[in-house]
Amino acid sequence: MTDQQMILPGIKPVLELLHEHPEKIDLVLCRANSKSKDIGEIIALCKQHSIHFSFVEKELLDKRCARKASEGSSAHQGVLARLVPFSFTPLETVATQVESAPLPLLLALDDVQDPGNVGTLVRTLYALGAAGLLIPNHNTAHLGPAAHKASAGALERLPIVRVPHLGRALDYLEEQGLAIYGSAQENAMGGSANALTTPMNLPAVLVLGNEARGLRPDIKKRCQTLLAIPQERRINSINVAQAGAILLGATVIFRKNANLLLNSL
């Protein structure tokens, strides 16, 4: 899969898709300083459906559509849409399925920018039996070729939920009975629980923050417990995909040990 295969150029095709299947559009690029009424309608629809859009120079649109043009497709007319390569799962659907997953845990990403990290996390989630991945519409890595490659095919198999507002989604999941956990910066043990000795109360949501800044304040305040990974040797940070794998692996071990204890009684 390539970025070019995921590009839809042209005002009419983009408008039609925005009207009929807005969930299939990940990003809309519009030519800067355009006065077109149609582009105004496209922007209004993007706002209505919480689809990210940007104004760019014509040269960038030309470059992104170069292969499409060589294949004889229509010119971009100042607009192109980047498409998602799969269907997202509604939040309400995943919320009802969490407890039936082998590992009743949802992973949520707050401002994680690297698609390779996201793909690697999806691969880990699928392998360990987690219920799915929750991402916001904006400020998150594009689930394109890099994420697909890193996921080794798991991106098409794991339920992926995309929401307009991560905070409100966490509020909804808490109302449905899920505990909310957040990852603390690896060196910030103060005020956080030790992730290797503190089992999560499942079903739950685990929120991982930005690679450099961690969780945003409005997301952190929604977490009932913050978990930090203790370090035997000091290092500035642990890669978010590695941190996620450690936290998920610890959860699986706690769960298996708890089941063994119950079975021995």
CB 160 within 8 A of CB 131: no
Looking at the chain, the domain(s) classified CATH 3.40.1280.10 span 91-264
The architecture (CATH level 2) of 4-83 comes to: 2-Layer Sandwich (3.30)
pLDDT tens string, the chain, 265 residues long: the values are 344 457 888 898 899 989 988 888 889 999 998 888 999 999 999 999 888 899 999 888 888 877 554 444 457 889 999 887 777 899 999 999 999 999 999 999 999 999 999 999 999 999 999 999 999 988 888 887 788 889 988 888 899 999 999 999 999 999 999 999 999 875 455 678 999 999 999 999 999 999 888 899 999 999 999 999 988 887 777 889 999 999 999 999 998 887 765 565 5
CB 167: neighbour CB atoms within 10 A? Answer: 15
DSSP 8-state symbol, 210: B
- Residues forming a β-bridge with 56: 31
CATH of 91-264, one of 3.30.1330.60, 3.40.1190.20, 3.40.1280.10, 3.30.70.380: 3.40.1280.10
- Residues forming a β-bridge with 207: 108, 182
Amino acid at 88: F
DSSP 8-state symbol, 190: T
Residue 262: predicted pLDDT: 58
How many CA atoms within 13 Å lie on the side-chain side of 60?
12
Residue 111: predicted pLDDT: 92
Residue 67: predicted pLDDT: 54
The tokens describing 111, both together, are: 């401002």
Amino acid at 101: A
Query: Closest by alpha carbon to 185, among 144, 150, 142, 216?
Result: 216
Looking at the chain, the domain(s) classified CATH 3.30.1330.30 span 4-83
